[in-house]
Amino acid sequence: MKNTIFDSHAHYADSQFDADREELLKNILPSQGIGYIMLAGIQIPDCYESQRLAERYETVYCSAGIHPEYVSDIPADWEQRIVTLAGHEKCRAIGEIGLDYYWHPEEKEIQKEIFKKQLELARALDLPVILHIRDAMGDAVEILRAYRPRGVMHCYNGAPEITRELLKIPELYFSFSGVITYKNARKPVESLKILPPDRIMIETDCPYLAPEPFRHKRCDSSMIHQTAQRMAEIRAISVQELEELTCANAKKLFDIKS
């Protein structure tokens, strides 16, 4: 099988993979055509572990960033640590960063502050960003309009009118997860229909968000095929074409030549 699939957002440093991480990354996923995996960082320790995995496995790349859920508990020197992590040859993005008002709506101001600082870091380091936005699209769009980053909207779930607004940022991509296979996935389906082919990516967000028919089970990158099939149906193209174009887009964003 050709290794032309890019899982653009995964979390293999998560403890849910402790029992079979090596078997997945070394054997199972390459045999499933998974040629590239981007590990999205959420906390400083997690970023270091992702870096170690990227060093060990040729198919794995990593990012460095603070997820909005963890902004209230970060070390004083977090910015310097991210800069250090970003200097690694396989670190290709700052992320995942953004706003998440679902769990901690009382932290809106500190989330926005840390988000903006990480956008500034990414600009200074000339790296793209991996964006996590949940229940905060209004504030996020306002900030993204101001910073106009190069990056990707992870697990995109925005309505078409939001999509049209964000498309005005010329180097912003939109990545879709197993959520798009769910019966109630109306907004991502409608947005995927209107996106240009050169702005689309695919992901698992594993171990989370397993697609149908695996919903509520632990997700891994082999399940990306179900998401690709659904996305191809929505776009009215072949699965192979969908996998190849999303791989090319992710390689371009993350500056991967091989």
With a cut of 70, say whether residue 168 has pLDDT above it: yes
Which 3 state secondary structure label does DSSP give 89? Answer: coil
Stated as kind and residue range, the H or E segment containing 187 is helix 186-194
pTM: 0.97
* Predicted local distance difference test score (pLDDT) of residue 13: 98
Q: Evaluate the CA torsion angle 175, 247, 86, 150 in order and state its sign.
A: negative
* Predicted local distance difference test score (pLDDT) of residue 28: 96
Which 3 state secondary structure label does DSSP give 98? Answer: strand
* Predicted local distance difference test score (pLDDT) of residue 104: 86
CA-wise closest residue to 177 among 197, 134, 206: 206
User: What span, in angstroms and rounded, lies between the C-alpha atoms of 6 and 102?
Assistant: 28
Considering the chain, what percentage of its residues have pLDDT values greater than 90? Answer: 96
Helix%, strand%, coil% for the chain, nearest 5? 50, 15, 35
CATH number for the region 5-253 comes to 3.20.20.140
Q: What is the mean pLDDT of the chain?
A: 97
CA distances from 61 to 32, 36, 46, 237 (A): 18, 8, 14, 28
With a cut of 70, say whether residue 1 has pLDDT above it: no
Find the helix packing angle between 224-235 and 186-194, rounded to 10°.
60
Considering the chain, what percentage of its residues have pLDDT values greater than 70? Answer: 100
Per-residue pLDDT averaged across 155-162, rounded?
97
pLDDT band at 103, cuts 50/70/90? confident
CA-wise closest residue to 126 among 92, 103, 159: 92
What does the block give as tokens for 114? Answer: 């840390």
Strand blocks (E) in the chain: 5-10, 34-39, 60-64, 91-100, 129-134, 151-153, 172-176, 200-202
Per-residue pLDDT averaged across 227-236, rounded?
98
Which residue is associated with the tokens 């403890």? 15
Give residue-wise pLDDT tens across range 9-61: 999 999 999 999 999 999 999 999 999 999 999 999 999 999 999 999 999 99
Give residue-wise pLDDT tens across range 104-133: 889 999 999 999 999 999 999 999 999 999
* Domain assignments of the chain as residue spans, ordered by start: 5-253
Per-residue pLDDT averaged across 140-149, rounded?
98
CB 153 within 8 A of CB 169: no
User: What span, in angstroms and rounded, lies between the C-alpha atoms of 123 and 121?
Assistant: 5
With a cut of 90, say whether residue 223 has pLDDT above it: yes
